[in-house]
Amino acid sequence: MRIARGEGSAEARPRVYGPEGVKTQVKSFSGGEGPETERSQGHTGRELEAAEADREPPAPPTEEDQGLRDKEAEPEAPPEDETTFLKEELVARQEEIERLRSQLLRLQADFDNYRKRIRREQLELRQTACAELVKELLPVLDNLERAMASARGGSEEGALLSGIELVFRQLVEVLGRYGLSEVKALGQPFDPAYHEAVATEEATDPQRHNLVTEELRKGYLLHGRLLRPALVKVALASAPETSETESEPREEELDNRENKSEKE
C-alpha cells in the first residue's frame, strides 16, 4: 500500500491507495480533529459565552460601591488657607462697595447744591438785569416830583398838575412791577446803610435825636437791594452844658495846691 499527500489544498489529508487502486481518505494520525478545527471551535465558544454574559442582568451595587460613588460625587472642601483668603477678599469688596456708595451720595449732594446755586444766581441775574435801566429813569421821577411840588405851590392848580401826577403814578407803578421800591426815610432813625446825611439841625426835643427830619432826595431799592441812598437831614441833640460850679475848680482846692507847691 502506498501513501501519498495531496497537493494544492490546505485541507488535503493523506490518501491511501489500496490494492485495487481505490483512493481512501485517512484521518489525522492523532485520531482527532485538526488544529484549525480546534481553534474555530474555541473561538466560537468564547463568543457564545460573551453573548450569554451580555444577556444576564448586571448585579446590584453593594453598599461599599455606593459609598465610594457618593464620596466621588461630593465636592472637595477648599483648604483652610483658601477659605481665609476668600473671606478677606469678600470683606474687602464689601468695604469698597460702601466707599463707592458714600462717594456717590456725596456727589449727588454736591450736584443738588450746585443746581440750587445756579438757580439762585439765575434769579438774581434776572432781578438785577434791569438795574441800569431803572437807575437811569430815577432822575425822571425826581423831575416829575419837583414839577408837581412847584405846581402845588402856585396859586393855580389846573390840568397840568393833574397830568403830571398821572404820569408820575403810572411810571412808579411800572417800575414797581420790576422790583423798585422807595427807601423809608422821613421820621425814621438815621441808617447809614440806606441814608446819606447831607445836613443836620439841632433837635429841640431829645427824643428826636438822630431822626431824619427832611428828605431831600428819595432813595430806592431794587428787589430789596439798595439802588440809591436817600439824601436826608438829620436832627442832632445838643450836648449838655456843664455848670460853672462843676467847670471851675473850687477855691479850697486851689489853696491846697498852692501850699503843696510852696512846701516842695
Angle between helical axes of 131-153 and 159-177 (0-180°, round to 10): 160
pLDDT digits (tens, 9 = 90+) for 72-129: 655 555 567 788 888 889 999 999 999 999 999 999 999 999 999 999 888 888 777 7
* Chain centroid to CA 240: 65
Question: Bridge partners of 220?
Answer: 182, 228
Class of domain 182-264: mainly beta
State residue 30's pLDDT score. Answer: 44
Distances, alpha carbon 27 to alpha carbons 2, 12, 30, 77, in Å = 16, 10, 8, 73
pLDDT < 70 regions, the chain: 1-79, 153-157, 159, 239-264
State residue 24's pLDDT score. Answer: 47
Question: Bridge partners of 228?
Answer: 220
State residue 22's pLDDT score. Answer: 46
State residue 97's pLDDT score. Answer: 94
Q: Which helix (H) or strand (E) holds 145?
A: helix 131-153
Whether the pTM exceeds 0.85: the reply is no
CA distance 193 to 219: 11
State residue 203's pLDDT score. Answer: 81
**Beta-sheet strand order (sheet of 220-222):** 180-182, 220-222, 225-228
CA distance 172 to 166: 10
Domain boundaries, the chain: 2-55, 80-129, 133-178, 182-264
Cell of 162: 393833574
